[in-house]
Amino acid sequence: MINTDRAEAVHQNFRHRVLNNDLPDTQATQAVLETEVAIALFRAQCISRHLDRTARKMQKAGQGFYTIGSSGHEGMAAVAAAVRVSDMAFLHYRDGAFQAMRASQAGENPIPDMLLSFASSSEDPISGGRHKVLGSKSLFIPPQTSTIASHLPKAMGAAFSIHLARRQAPEHQVLAHDSIVVCSFGDASANHSTAQGAINAAAWSSYQNLPMPLLLVCEDNGIGISVRTPKGWIAANFQHKPGLTYFHANGLNMLETYHVAQQAADYVRKFRKPAFLHLEMVRLYGHAGSDVQTAYLSQAECEAWEAKDPLLFSASLLIHQNILNAAEVLALYDAIDAECTATAEMLVQRPRLKTAAEVMQSLIPPKRRCRLATQVSSEIRQTSFGSDARILHEPQTLARLINWTLTDLMLSYPELVLAGEDIGRKGGVYGVTQRLQQRFGKERVMDTLLDEQSILGLALGMAQNGFIPIPEIQFLAYLHNAEDQLRGEAATLPFFSKGQYTNPMVVRIAGLGYQRGFGGHFHNDNSLAVLRDIPGLLVACPSNGADAAKMLRECVRLAREEQRVVVFLEPIALYTQRDLHTAKDEAWACHYPAPNEQLPWGEVAVYGEGELAIITYANGYYLSRQAEKALREAYGLAVRIIDLRWLVPLPGESLTAALQGVEKVLVVDECRRSGNLSEGLMTWLDENFTIPKARLTAEDSFIATGPAYAATLPSKESIIAAVLELAKQN
């Protein structure tokens, strides 16, 4: 009968083969390891192995909740030994040996910490019981909640930030100037578009001689859950990639791995260029505790992998180099087994999260103290604004006032960095960032490659090294290519690290509809659904230039001081709008607010005093203002218009105050009827007010190019009709 408990089979096989001196031949290995290093590596490997076994036992007893193990990947202990503890490491989920070795280097015992994580205890030092993650603040290992390559973009960003910090050290800098960043992943994950994009971005930078001290470690065990990786695929894919230097080692041999990893790390540290370290490994046990490899692999295949157990190679090296004898190898192995078992028996009794409040406690990152804004002399400010300084007192468009706001913010806060496609030399598709690169240089206003995942990953990584990035996504529709960088990485980081790790930033996105005949649905995207359900994310959306200036300053404050991830959604159709009712009335142009003026988060705007209110935002507010004039003049109907400005979460307190005395409410939502803001608003109104209400939305349709650009969207006329219909209701 086939033994399906492969963990026990591997355990017994190791003990039997060491006792009988049936070990792989490692005598051809020329290099030697210092005794202390060799024993430390083997100890870390044993800790990782027994933690895997203990996790499975805990799960069977109903006391453990995570069994994706590192068995077969224990060679990663040697990678940890080859780099510094202070080199930030974004780890693959099979890197228990890396964390165990790094803990040993730092004088810490990883066993209780990792077992608390397996047990989902609220005392787990990294996630507080919210998720089983590798990670440690003291060990410079940010937690990863998904390793289908989603961590590679931010690793690339963190590596790139090191050079920027050398030029302009941010207040909350984390990484030393000569640090490198380590990022590990599996051979299956290497095929993911996110991995391909991040590695390409790193190589793209290196090809242009931009510093990118990134050590990419591919742990190639030849299989992704049940799908085999074609033999030779990883080497063929990455061995000759421009801008990327390739290293290879047998990951089963800790000595070879250690020396090759040292070479790779030294190369990255010296030349500030990325390297790809390809380690050939095996996967023991299966993907996770619930995965039985023999369901899709033959018994012979499983046993062939188990015969390559890296701990057997390590035992052989220790014995043949006269560091330990067989009895001492087994004594160390068994002692760690006993320690893991005893520690687990004690820690499974530790408290776990119980209430929603406990779970959500770290959803919002902690506030932090920040230095005051840099005092900018009038001479420096005037020089920075250049020819624009002469017109600062004149009413301007939304686009121009965003540009001026960014100028003042970047003068005040040297840690602010802009990044995005075409934002530098061109000044953005709509000219919003014109001249900013001339004012602040290419290292603070960066033209990136065309890859939204890499743009957001760059921002995530820079934020973890103390910068306040302001990445730009060129169009709202393009966000969908990279949304997981917000959902799966940015928003979750404080949640899964008890607020120990954060990635504050302000993501500027040009979006929404009403562009006259331009672009169709790729450049007119009227859906906020992708942003509305991400816990902890903030979404701001101005309708005019004055509000945009004051709101953007508040968004930067939220990022700097409260470490929040903020989306600043800019309505494209209003970028250059100057008029409201008639040509050249200049009623939508605004004066630039003084640099110290800002709007507090959640404060809505109210126009008019009618008992029938329109709640809206962005283009909807603009159109409602047009409709209000017609309703007042043609029908004698007074209407109150509320511009939400802050969309996620809904500004309930301010909105309640704005609705005092209102008897009827119309929600005007320029986004689609399904999945967008009006649904949340109508629910909120139902829960808080017993008054007649209605909503006017865009159709559930994509937007057309050409004359029909607004056919599916609310209009001045449809708003008037909806108000008149609602006014008839009792």
Mean pLDDT for 657-683 is 96
**Beta strands of 456-558 (E only): which ranges?**
468-473, 505-511, 538-540
Average pLDDT, rounded, for the chain: 94
pTM: 0.94
Q: How confident is the model at residue 305 (pLDDT cuts 50, 70, 90)?
A: confident
For residue 448, the 8-state DSSP code is P
pLDDT attached to residue 29: 67
CA 53 – CA 50 distance, rounded (Å) = 5
CATH topology identical between 6-352 and 605-728: yes
Q: Where are the beta strands (DSSP E) in 572-658?
A: 605-607, 612-616, 639-643, 646-648
Torsion angle of C-alpha atoms 201, 206, 211, 212, degrees rounded to 10: 50
Q: What is the average per-residue pLDDT within 612-622?
A: 98
Architecture of domain 605-728: 3-Layer(aba) Sandwich (3.40)
Whether the per-residue pLDDT at 2 is higher than 60: the answer is no
- What integer pLDDT is reported at residue 147 of this predicted model? 65
CA distance 109 to 102: 10
pLDDT at 183: 97
Assign 286 a pLDDT band (cuts: 50, 70, 90): confident
Measured CA to CA, the distance from residue 75 to residue 637 in angstroms comes to 76
Residue 682 has pLDDT above 80, yes or no: yes
Is 80 exceeded by the pLDDT of residue 27?
no
The CA angle 273-139-493, to the nearest 5 degrees, is 85
Higher confidence at residue 206 or residue 522?
A: 206
Residues 433-468: tens digit of each pLDDT = 999 999 999 999 999 999 999 999 999 999 999 999
Q: For residue 245, count other CB atoms closer than 10 A to its CB.
A: 17
Residue 619 backbone phi and psi in degrees, to 5: -60, -30
- pLDDT interval class at 30 (50, 70, 90): low
| 84-141 pLDDT tens trace | 999 999 999 999 999 999 999 999 999 999 999 999 999 999 999 998 778 999 999 9
- Mean pLDDT, to the nearest integer, of 523-529? 88
Q: Which residues contact 589 (CB under 8 A, 6 or more apart)?
A: 395, 396, 397, 545, 578
- Look at residue 148 in the predicted model and tell me its pLDDT: 79
Element (H, E) at 250: strand 245-250
Q: How many CA atoms lie within 13 A of 254 on its CB side?
A: 34
- The two structure tokens encoding residue 343: 């520690």
At residue 1, does pLDDT exceed 50? no
Is residue 3 over pLDDT 70?
no
Confidence tier at 287 by pLDDT (50, 70, 90): confident
User: Distance between CA atoms of 545 and 592, rounded to whole angstroms?
Assistant: 8
Judge contact between 594 and 686, C-beta under 8 A.
no
Assess contact for 536 and 363: CB atoms under 8 A: yes
Structure confidence at residue 167 (pLDDT): 85
Partners of 641 in beta bridges: 607, 614
Q: Where are the alpha helices (DSSP H) in 219-253?
A: 233-238
Domain edges within the chain = 6-352, 378-574, 605-728
Residue 31 has what DSSP assignment?
-
Q: What is the pLDDT of residue 519?
A: 66
Residue with tokens 């840099």: 374
Task: Please choose, from the candidates 47, 53, 56, the residue with its C-alpha nearest in 3D space to the C-alpha of residue 74.
Answer: 47
How far is residue 78's CA from residue 83's CA, in Å, rounded to a whole number?
9
Average confidence (pLDDT) over 373-380: 92
| Rounded CA separation 70/52 (Å) | 7
Backbone angles phi, psi at 163, to 5 degrees: -65, -40
pLDDT for the residue numbered 326: 96
Closest CA to 409 of 563, 544, 569, 595: 595
CATH architecture, range 6-352: 3-Layer(aba) Sandwich (3.40)
Q: What is the CATH superfamily name and number for domain 378-574?
A: Thiamin diphosphate (ThDP)-binding fold, Pyr/PP domains (3.40.50.970)
Lowest mean pLDDT, pick from 413-417, 477-481, 655-659:
477-481
CA pair distance 303, 475, nearest whole angstrom: 52
Distance CA 434, CA 426 (A): 7
Give the distance between the most distant pair of CA atoms in the chain. Answer: 99
Encode pLDDT of 32-47 as tens digits. 788 999 999 999 999 9
Residues 374, 569: contact at Cβ < 8 Å? no
Query: What confidence score (pLDDT) does residue 4 get?
Result: 60
- DSSP helix/strand/coil, 53: helix
Q: What is the pLDDT of residues 338-361, one digit of tens each?
A: 999 999 999 999 999 999 999 999
Q: Which two tokens stand for residue 11?
A: 């355990």
Calpha distance 240→255 (Å, rounded): 26
Residue 525 has pLDDT above 50, yes or no: yes
Is residue 291 predicted with pLDDT exceeding 60?
Answer: yes
Q: Are 640 and 686 in contact (CB under 8 A)?
A: no
User: What does the block give as tokens for 358?
Assistant: 């406990």
C-alpha 9, offset from chain centre? 39
Question: How many CA atoms lie within 13 Å of 640's alpha carbon, on the beta-carbon side?
Answer: 20
Q: Is the model's pLDDT at 270 over the cut of 90?
A: yes
Among the listed residues 518, 515, 540, 724, the one whose alpha carbon sits nearest the alpha carbon of residue 619? 515
Q: Which residue would you say has higher pLDDT here, 591 or 68?
A: 591
The amino acid sitting at 228 is R
**Rounded to whole angstroms, how far apart are CA atoms 106 and 138?**
8
Side-chain half-sphere exposure of 397, counting CA atoms within 13 A: 16
124 CB-near residues (< 8 Å, 6+ apart): 113, 116, 117
Predicted pLDDT of residue 222: 86
Residue with tokens 């002692």: 335
- Structure-model confidence comparison of residues 696 and 299, the more confident one: 696
